[in-house]
Structure 1
């Protein structure tokens, strides 16, 4: 393919700006869409819980603001073990179960973007998330959640290192979601989980990424043997342009499948999911593979 000098310069600039804070699975913020899936908006009852998310994201292309694949070979991968600790207390706020949580990600990012001459690999502890407010409501045929927390800029970041594990800025994340069970046996579930992210200024570059909003959703069916299967997806939008940057708004849409099973005797659950990003604007596109282990203490 023959590309004009002007387009090549634009594409190269786009790639560098897209790599700002690392071109992770998220559209332009911290939260990775698609990690919760079926019944993602259901808050567990009082107790202590651990969830381990093993996530692998294969980057197969970089795309511009029209969703067009950029020239050259632009591939990479992001692998992460995300450790989530949840404590739901026996306290009530607004008639909801009250709890708190923390997330500690361990991540490896490898990028090979030919269009920008990037060949970089980094690994380490990513940005940590803490939430002092998790609220869960439970009805006869529905569940709902509201939460607030902050992603801290604890991971290592450098503006000259595209594969930086950290993003170099903080993000306030607000959560709202619900799950509805159409049948009395709760074998069917319809769920949606939304996250709104408000970013701070990136000190090293002076850029303030634009606010973003995403929705994860799932339609699931639990079989008589306890296995739950379903269709999942996510839709993510950057709502405003980043201040101090030339790149346009990022956007991602994906569709996939998920299966899960819970062993009551072990108080242990396992989820497996695959998602394909069928439409992406201003960012990397690819496929996500996820395994989630849940342990109740």
Structure 2
């Protein structure tokens, strides 16, 4: 995509390499907390993202585009009955299936694998604090992999109201990237903030509101060829990107084992990246009934 945009002479082709692995706003509001009960939980994230514009480094629409991606991300979580540093210990891994569609063609395949060997939760009656460390492994097909390693650190905090029926959430995620083997570009690290509120109206029905912001903390480390293109076409390929979005969620426990939650978020400002809308339909299965 980057090569096609540059060679076609677009003068506003900024930030084309600035993507990271972590997508804020996809998980459910309460998913960033270590489960309180020991055992296995399966969660499948079904994600659809669509964008109709690419913004430049000033936040203006560089040009209209037609891009969409559908992804299926199964999440396998094991919460142990062990404690580490006084916290409940859990671990997880997430494979990924991806299908991209754009004016330049379609691509699909197995995406990069996320493994989180360390996930800790310090839990009290009305709040909890969580910390996770994981890595994205470039195991994906050549058409859909970012072809780089990413180390991810994430912390989240929840404050519970009305005996847990309400939950106020804030989370921060930091990504450290290596150089991409296919592009020789090292993306700038990413910092994501997520916040939201979840409220159970009944034992089974949950509604929520959430928002997110994601920034690159530094510009991409681009090659001499890309730097020359910037100089000749007056572009800013590799500049720091950012995006901000807000959305709603509705979830329902079909019974004590199965939950379905729908999330929708609209991105209202971005720089040097695609700007669009994110939808996810997430299915959770817990062998141990939650009620």
Same fold (TM over 0.5): yes
In the alignment, structure 1 residue 290 sits paired with structure 2 residue 280? yes
- Equivalent position of 2:181 in the other structure: 203
Match of 2:44 among 33, 48, 52: 52
Show the 5 A alignment for 1:1-297. 9-12=10-13, 14=14, 18=16, 20=17, 28-44=19-35, 45-71=37-63, 73-112=64-103, 119-157=104-142, 164-183=143-162, 185-244=163-222, 246-265=237-256, 267-297=257-287
After superposition, what is the alpha-carbon deviation per residue over 1:122-176, rounded to whole angstroms, capped at 9, x for unaligned? Answer: 000000011111111211001221010100011123xxxxxx3110101000010
TM-score if structure 1 supplies the norm length? 0.85
Give unpaired runs (5+ residues) of structure 1.
1-7, 21-26, 113-118, 158-163
Distance across 1 between alignment mates of 2:182 and 2:32:
35
Q: CA deviation at 1:9?
A: 4.2
- Structure 1 stretches (4+) deviating beyond 3 angstroms? none
Cα root mean square deviation, aligned: 1.7
Q: Is this contact kept in 2: 1:67–1:281, CA < 8 A?
A: yes
Secondary structure of the residue aligned to 2:187 is: coil
For 1:219 and 1:284, locate their aligned partners in 2 and report how far apart those are by CA, in whole Å. 27
Counterpart of 1:181 in 2: which secondary structure? Answer: strand
- Contiguous gaps of at least 5 residues in structure 2: 1-8, 224-236
Q: TM-score, normalised by structure 2?
A: 0.87
**Which residue is equivalent to 1:3?**
none
Per-residue CA deviation, residues 23-73 of structure 1 (Å, 9 max, x unaligned), is xxxx621011111242233211211111100010111111111111123x4
Once the two structures are overlaid, the 10-residue window that deviates more, 75-84 or 199-208, is 199-208
Give the length in aligned residue pairs: 266
2:221–2:238: 8 Å Cα contact kept in structure 1? Answer: no
Q: 2: distance between equivalents of 1:129 and 1:11?
A: 33
Is residue 246–residue 265 contact of structure 2 (8 Å, CA) maintained in 1? yes
